[in-house]
Amino acid sequence: MRYDVSIVGLGRVGLPLALSFAARGLSVLGIDNDPERLRALGERRMPFEEPGAQELLDTVDLPLSDRVSDAAQARHIVITLGTPSFSHVEIDMRDIRSALDDLLPVLTEGHALLLRSTVAPDTTDFVAGYLEKHRGFRVGDDVFVAHVPERIAAGRFIEEISTLPCIVGGVGEGSGEVAGKLFEILGAPIVQTTAVQAELAKIWTNILRYAHFALPNLLMMDCEQHDANVFEVIDLINRDYPRGGMAQPGLTAGTCLRKDFAFSEERSPAPGMLLAVHRVNETVPRFLVEGIKRRIGSLRGQKVAVLGLAFKAGTDDERDSLAHKLIRLLERELADVTVHDPHVQTPTSSFDEAVDAADVVVVATNHAEFCGPGALRAIRSQAREGALIVDPWNCFGVAQVFAYAAEIQALSPRG
């Protein structure tokens, strides 16, 4: 075998991992079927933002391939293909099965298949059973299969890869040990468990956050009904209270949070509970549009500037961002929508073009560029007199989801 490890899938999970292994002296083969991504990496350009990753790419050797079967040239094969869900809450195994079918003819004794992306419960056991069924391998003796879930926050990979506990869920006697020895080179503590417990730990890490943020979003909608201020209510809940901890509202989304609840919902003994959480978060864009209409009337022909496409501040990741849903809803109201985001790869208007003469400005992503008195002054000077500002993130620190520009300026601590 020519390489220590191969990474199948060079996206936001796989590529930083490949670079981290290579930076620690392992020989790494990177595999992806996206020609644009492979071209960028061949030119030593990161295809997405990840602080510190470009510096690693500048210095390490990372051979590339577009064939999954080439992954067998390494003893350790790390698969960063997840299990998305169909719209009717059913897990989609097609990507993983396709990769396994490509690998089956070339696997030999001693290979380790390690799942890194979020997968549904029992997926790791499915992979082990698939190898046993189609090749007769004894998993844990002949070959090794484990789930080593990635729990790193977007934009913090280089920082957290060596500090967050690394959960390893192996199948059979030797799989956990083999996977642990590979990942311990990254420096994080190794925590051994079963495969299904590793899967559940990852899924419920995301479900916990998704539910945590649904509560303030529901409270925001409740406050609108009662003409109350959500930020003031949250302050009352949390202030000097040992059992507080209510989060702030916002457009809670992202590819992990938006889909991972379905991994539990598919077989849930309490069906509908997590669907309700999902419904709350998914309703926020509609809530914002209806709140705008209640204040200014019809949106037909009104210019609405949407600031932000990414699902999270400071990243270029717009996968499953609710900003896209917000834009679609605004367009259905026949608004003239302009968009600006300084981070994403999707072409957008400049800040000045987006905000100029806008009737409404919506902060859809709490990028630093959109927060604070400087951004507020820029909006106030370029948007229409009396423009409505929609700020569910409280970027301007004035505790108003809906307010007019002059009102926000007057409430701002710095004017």
Give the pLDDT score at 129. Answer: 97
| DSSP codes of every residue in 65-94 | ES-GGGGGGEEEEEE-----EETTTEE--H
CB 160 within 8 A of CB 154: no
- Residue 265 banded pLDDT, cuts 50, 70, 90: confident
CB 325 within 8 A of CB 285: yes
pTM for this structure? 0.89
Give the pLDDT score at 255. Answer: 73
Number of Cβ within 10 Å of residue 79's Cβ equals 25
Closest CA to 147 of 176, 107, 173, 172: 176
Give the pLDDT score at 272. Answer: 82
**Whether residue 202 has pLDDT greater than 60:** yes
The whole-chain average pLDDT of the chain stands at 93
Give the pLDDT score at 364. Answer: 97
Query: Exposed, middle or buried by CB within 10 Å (0-12, 13-18, 19+), for 241?
Result: exposed
Beta bridge partners of 170: 146, 194
Distance CA 16, CA 156 (A): 10
Q: What are phi and psi of 291, to 5 degrees?
A: -65, -40
Query: For residues 410 and 361, which has the higher predicted lDDT (pLDDT)?
Result: 361
- Residue 371 banded pLDDT, cuts 50, 70, 90: very high
**Whether residue 184 has pLDDT greater than 80:** yes
159-163, 260-264, 394-398, range with the lowest pLDDT: 260-264
**Whether residue 89 has pLDDT greater than 70:** no
Instruction: Give mean pLDDT, residues 365-384.
Output: 92
28-37, 85-94, 223-232, 244-253, range with the lowest pLDDT: 85-94
Strand (E) or helix (H) holding 305: strand 303-307
Residue 286: partners with Cβ closer than 8 Å, 6 or more residues away: 329
**Whether residue 267 has pLDDT greater than 60:** yes
Distance CA 56, CA 46 (A): 10
**Whether residue 415 has pLDDT greater than 60:** no
- Residue 414 banded pLDDT, cuts 50, 70, 90: low
Give the pLDDT score at 406. Answer: 79
Instruction: Give mean pLDDT, residues 330-340.
Output: 98
For 124-141, the pLDDT digits (tens) are 999 999 999 999 999 999
Distance CA 366, CA 364 (A): 7
Give the pLDDT score at 154. Answer: 79
Give the pLDDT score at 77. Answer: 98
82-86, 153-157, 379-383, range with the lowest pLDDT: 82-86
For 385-398, the pLDDT digits (tens) are 899 999 999 999 88
Closest CA to 264 of 320, 211, 318: 211
Number of Cβ within 10 Å of residue 95's Cβ equals 16
3-class state of residue 406 by DSSP: helix
Instruction: Give mean pLDDT, residues 39-53.
Output: 95
Instruction: Give mean pLDDT, residues 3-14.
Output: 96
Give the pLDDT score at 120. Answer: 87
3-class state of residue 45 by DSSP: coil
Domains of the chain with CATH codes: 3-188 (3.40.50.720), 215-411 (3.40.50.720)
Q: What count of Cα atoms within 13 Å lies in the side-chain half-sphere of residue 179?
A: 35
